[in-house]
Structure formats: structure tokens, C-alpha cells
Amino acid sequence: MFNVSIVGGSGYGGGELLRLLLNHPGVNVQQVTSERFAGKRISKVHPNLRRRTDLAFCSLEELTACDLLLLSLPHGHASSQWHRFQGLAPKVIDLSADFRLESATDYLRYYGRQHPQPHLLQSFVYGIPEVNRDAIRKANFVAGAGCNATASILALFPLLSETWLPIERAVIDAKVGSSEAGNRSNDASHHPVRSGAVRSFKPTDHRHLGEIRQILGQEERHPISFSATAIDMVRGILVTCHLFPKAPLSEKDVWKRVRTVYGQEPFIRIVKEREGSYRYPEPKILSGTNYCDLGFELSQDGKHLVVIAAIDNLMKGAAGQALQCMNLMLGFEETTGLEFSGLHPI
């Protein structure tokens, strides 16, 4: 039995981590921190966990050593306090953006500030198991991938990795739910303003584009654009990726490639049906699951490929993927604690 603690357990991501860990047969949740709610019962913040745990939040100062530490803090906090966290556990998974990019130059470009610990960037493994499984299994430090980056990379990795599909360009359009913004309210999240909205909030230069390009190839190899739009949904991301190949494709080519890369993946489901409301991926039915549903459509002339991927941003885009990485790092079966298949209808 491994002792695991969560730093920053009062947010949506931290709450999902705790929910998952409480159902994991191989770990004991030792401590959960929150500076705002230190000393208060966890169910005060996460009412879905009533009678699931007697734990109360503690402060950072009360943290003790454990086997693995999960950091679910706002961006910038993990890197600024890294020496404290590194001394508490031999293995760390950071869900923030602090260590996702391998280059300090790229961090400055996408986040607009110098990285406070640039020498540590190469110490972290990027945390998408479908891309980095072997490296994650051996890693001590893992950087959880961004939610939009996860959906986009999983959509395009089979096609753009290893230069399998030379393209003229790729355009990714992401529709995202409100929980992506976290649990701190602001003017944009006020209910009369947010309800019913379809709001483009980052048409260009989204910071997750740095992760996408890092995994799929820089601009000179694959010209990729990314836009994000907030819609009236709590959980979920749907990415619609438009690819324009340099030579016409056949549907058989695409099927064969996707199945070759993802055929044995436990959390990738290929969705391609001729009829019905769910013939393409739909984030609603993925709520609470660690699956990524993936589908595609090819134009009749083979010159326009549309790839669609859906995830729950708090699960495969954050806590679920972190648990998947934890399973690999600690030697558990990769799917342990992540077997929930979702609800329908919901």
C-alpha cells in the first residue's frame, strides 16, 4: 500500500483526484492540503464525498513525507516551491503547466514570463501515457498535460507522428466547458453572463499550442493553428481538427493507421458509425470517465480530413490522466481505479 498526498485539494482537479484515489485499491490517501480550508472536513468543499472519507484539509506546513505527491496547484506555484515538494516524496506528478514544456524559450513564448526553475524542465516526463508510456513508467517526475492539449494530441498523434501524414496545415477548433476555468469565479463565469454563451476566448496563440507542437512537431514540420471557444457545458472538451494533406487519402488508409497506433490502448475508443446521434464523439457521455473518444470523416476527394476527439477535461484532461500516470509509476495495472464507463442518459 502506497501513501499518497494531494497538494491543492480544494479545486475541481484536486477533488477529482481525491474521488479517484479513495476508490483505488493500492493507495492510502495520507493528506490533502488547502490553505483556504485547512482544518475543515473535505466534504465541506466536495459534497459528493460525504461519508467517503473522514479526512480534513491540512496546510502546506503540516505536510509529511509520502510515497507519491500529486500537485494540483495554480500555475506557477509548483515551480516556485519545488524544493519543498521534492523533499517530501521520491515521485511527484504536477498537474499544472509549470513543467510541461521542455524549453525555457518556449515557456517564455507561451506563458509570457521567464521560468523560475529552467534547469528542472528536462527532469519531467510529459504525462500522456499513449505518447510517453515507457518514459512515464520509469519517471520520478511527471508533468500532467493540459486538457486542450491532451484532446488535440490524442486526436492527431496517429496521423502526424513519425511524419506519417504530410500536411499543408492543420486547424484545431476546441469547444470547452466552464470547469476548465477552475472553481474561482470571475466576471466571465457569472451565471447570467456565462449561461447560453458561445464565446471565443482564445482564437490564436493559446498556451496549450506549445504542448501540441512539442509532441506533434514544430511549425516548420506541421503548421498547426488552435482556437478555443467556451460553450454552455460544465465538463468536457470537443476538438474538431481540420487536416489538409499534401496528397489525397483514402478512408482505408486512415482506419489502418489509427487502429495500428491505438488498437490496444485501454482508454482510446474509436467511434465511427454510419448513423445515429452518437456516430461521432460526444463529450457529454464521457463525464467522469478517463476515455478519449476519437472519430473522423474524410471528404470525397480525400483532400480534407476532419478528426474529432472528446474527453472530460477534469478526467482524461487532468485527474484521470494523472492517476493513469501514477499507476504506471507505481507498478499498478494502468486501468486501476479508472474503470468507470460513464452514464447514459445524463
Which tens digits make up the pLDDT trace of 236-259? Answer: 999 999 999 999 999 999 999 999
Which tens digits make up the pLDDT trace of 301-340? Answer: 999 999 999 999 999 999 999 999 999 999 999 999 999 9
The pLDDT, as a whole number, for residue 222 is: 72
| Sign of torsion over alpha carbons 197, 203, 205, 208 | positive
| Residues 314-339: b if buried by 16+ CB within 10 A, e if exposed | bbbbbbbbbbbbbbbbbebebebbbe
Cβ–Cβ < 8 Å for 132, 126: yes
97 and 164 belong to one structural domain? no
Task: Tell me which residue of 206, 208, 251, 225 sits closest to 167, measured CA to CA.
Answer: 225
Task: Tell me which residue of 135, 138, 141 sits closest to 94, measured CA to CA.
Answer: 141
262 and 323 belong to one structural domain? no
Average pLDDT estimate for 205-215: 92
Domain extent at residue 13: 2-145+318-330
Average pLDDT estimate for 39-54: 94
97 and 240 belong to one structural domain? no
172 and 106 belong to one structural domain? no
How large a percentage of the chain has pLDDT more than 70? 99
Confirm whether 227 is domain-assigned.
Answer: yes
- The DSSP output letter for 121 is G
Split at pLDDT 50, 70, 90, the class of 184 is confident
Distance from C-alpha of 2 to C-alpha of 26, rounded to nearest angstrom:
6
The pLDDT, as a whole number, for residue 99 is: 97
110 and 220 belong to one structural domain? no
Confirm whether 137 is domain-assigned.
Answer: yes
SS3 label, residue 94:
strand
Average pLDDT estimate for 17-33: 97
Distance from C-alpha of 227 to C-alpha of 235, rounded to nearest angstrom:
18
110 and 131 belong to one structural domain? yes
Confirm whether 335 is domain-assigned.
Answer: no
Which tens digits make up the pLDDT trace of 63-115? Answer: 999 999 999 999 999 999 998 999 999 999 999 999 999 999 999 999 999 99
Distance from C-alpha of 223 to C-alpha of 217, rounded to nearest angstrom:
9
167 and 122 belong to one structural domain? no
Split at pLDDT 50, 70, 90, the class of 220 is low
CATH code where residue 192 lies: 3.30.360.10
Query: Which position has the higher pLDDT, 59 or 201?
Result: 59
> In a 10 Å sphere around its CB, with 0-12 CB exposed, 13-18 middle and 19+ buried, how is residue 12 labelled?
buried
Confirm whether 244 is domain-assigned.
Answer: yes
Of the residues 58, 66, 147, 292, only one is catalytic, namely: 147
Active site residue 147: yes
250 and 104 belong to one structural domain? no
The pLDDT, as a whole number, for residue 219 is: 67
Q: Do the bridges between strand 68-71 and strand 91-94 make them parallel or antiparallel, or are there none, so unpaired?
A: parallel
Distance from C-alpha of 118 to C-alpha of 17, rounded to nearest angstrom:
27
284 and 159 belong to one structural domain? yes
Q: How many domains does the structure of the chain reveal?
A: 2
CATH code where residue 17 lies: 3.40.50.720
Split at pLDDT 50, 70, 90, the class of 127 is very high
208 and 285 belong to one structural domain? yes
SS3 label, residue 33:
strand
Q: What are residue 244's DSSP bridge partners?
A: 169
127 and 163 belong to one structural domain? no
CA geometry: angle 127, 129, 130, nearest 5 deg = 130
Confirm whether 336 is domain-assigned.
Answer: no
Sequence-ordered list of residues with C-beta below 8 angstroms from that of 7, at least 6 positions apart, any chain: 33, 60, 63, 69, 70, 71, 72, 73, 85
139 and 288 belong to one structural domain? no
Q: Which three cell numbers stand for residue 134?
A: 515507457
Confirm whether 241 is domain-assigned.
Answer: yes
Confirm whether 338 is domain-assigned.
Answer: no
The pLDDT, as a whole number, for residue 91 is: 98
Cβ–Cβ < 8 Å for 49, 32: no
Confirm whether 35 is domain-assigned.
Answer: yes
